[in-house]
């Protein structure tokens, strides 16, 4: 399941189109889930339990930890998980930190 503020639910095709426009895709599944079910191409894995801390990191630290430029509060970000519950929580976390 995929969540973004503008459209709480996205289809696979909508995500593919968004990825062409440089959206940051954060997969909030646990690392064991990524190992077991596979990584989504061009996504970064930040398990939900780490997300609040990650989104408040120093940008240099974020880059070192996740090998990706830290999103600004106005950058387009999409969250995904297995069923949609965690990605909705992730969206709520991000919005509570001021992400639009």
Superfamily of domain 2-97: Rhodanese-like domain (3.40.250.10)
Do the beta carbons of residue 29 and residue 38 sit within 8 Å? no
* From 81, 90, 91, 94, the catalytic residue: 81
What is the tens place of the pLDDT at every residue in 45-90? 999 999 999 999 999 999 999 999 999 999 988 899 988 889 999 9
Give DSSP secondary structure letters for 46-81. --HHHHHHHTTS-HHHHHHHHSSPPPPTTS-EEEE-
Domains of the chain, residue spans:
2-97
3 is catalytic: no
Q: Which residues contact 82 (CB under 8 A, 6 or more apart)?
A: 1, 29, 33, 37
Q: Give the model's confidence band at 100: pLDDT under 50 very low, under 70 low, under 90 confident, else very high.
A: confident
State residue 70's pLDDT score.
94
Backbone angles phi, psi at 93, to 5 degrees: -60, -50
Q: Model pTM greater than 0.75?
A: yes
């Amino acid at each position: 399941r995929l969540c973004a503020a503008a459209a709480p639910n996205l289809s696979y095709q909508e995500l593919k189109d968004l990825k062409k426009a440089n959206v940051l895709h954060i997969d909030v599944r646990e690392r064991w889930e990524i190992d077991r079910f596979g990584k989504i191409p061009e996504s970064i894995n930040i398990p939900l339990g780490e997300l609040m801390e990650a989104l408040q990191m120093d940008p240099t630290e974020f880059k070192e930890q996740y090998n990706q430029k830290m999103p600004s509060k106005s950058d387009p970000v999409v969250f995904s998980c297995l069923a949609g519950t965690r990605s909705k929580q992730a969206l709520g976390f991000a919005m509570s930190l001021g992400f639009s």
